[in-house]
Amino acid sequence: MEVSTRKPKISSTGTGIDRLSSLPDDVLHNILSSLLIFDVVQLSVLSKRWRYVWTTMPYLHFDIDQFYSQRIKQYCDFVIAGRFKDFINWVLISQGETNKLVQFLLCFDTMFDKVANLRWINHVTIRRNVQQLVLKFCLSETFELPYCLVTSQSLQVLKLHLSGNVLKLPNFVGFHQLKFLHLEQVELSDEHLISRVVLESRNFDLKRV
């Protein structure tokens, strides 16, 4: 019996991409919220409707390990780290400052300099009013929590994974809008200070791993 090798014809009036493309931006954003921003940018080639969806994406996920080790099967080096840093800068500049951020996730290693890290944190906190901030990195030095995070009026969730590095908190009570603080592989420079912050700022939950 001869088996046909012809591919099934897809109707131009199918309900796949057309139905998805017709969804409102906020619905598309929610659908894409679990993806790395690089994948979201790549979807812009699908159609004119998708071309600018990523520029209003309120979920920005940058993970250098997932991208390079899993996608292109190459270990990160200083050249790749530099390109990834340029990509982060390009996305933030392209999006502008008018769109608020629901979540900003940033994962990198020691090849990223502290200055760039602080610049991104300040940008998404002060100019983009981020609500959820997830930071996973290893700086091989004490990480002093930026002033903008403690005084932020938009930040509700803060998750820090510092690969065993020391976290230094400011010596004043802040986190007025924070509801959840997650610390993983974090050494505290002052255990008593975090206890005082928790006691005096009872509007958020603390989880240490």
DSSP assignment of the chain equals: -PPP-PPPPPPTT-SSHHHHHTS-HHHHHHHHTTS-HHHHHHGGGS-HHHHTGGGG-SEEEEEHHIIIIIIS-----HHHHHHHHHHHHHHHHHH-SSS--SEEEEE--TTS-HHHHHHHHHIIIIIS--SEEEEE---SS-EEPPHHHHS-SS--EEEEE-TT-EEE--SS---SS--EEEEES-EES-HHHHHHHHHH-TTSEEEE-
**How far is residue 193 from each of residues 23, 70, 74, 163, measured CA to CA in Å?**
47, 39, 42, 21
- Predicted pLDDT of residue 88: 93
pLDDT tens by residue, the chain, 209 residues: 444 444 434 344 454 455 777 888 899 899 899 888 988 888 888 777 788 889 999 999 998 877 665 555 556 677 777 888 899 999 999 998 888 999 999 998 766 677 888 999 999 999 999 999 999 988 778 888 898 998 899 999 999 998 888 888 877 667 888 899 899 988 887 776 676 666 656 566 777 77
Please give the model's pTM, rounded to 2 decimal places. Answer: 0.82
- Predicted pLDDT of residue 71: 57
- Predicted pLDDT of residue 197: 64
- Predicted pLDDT of residue 8: 39
For tokens 């603080």, name the residue. 181
- Predicted pLDDT of residue 163: 86
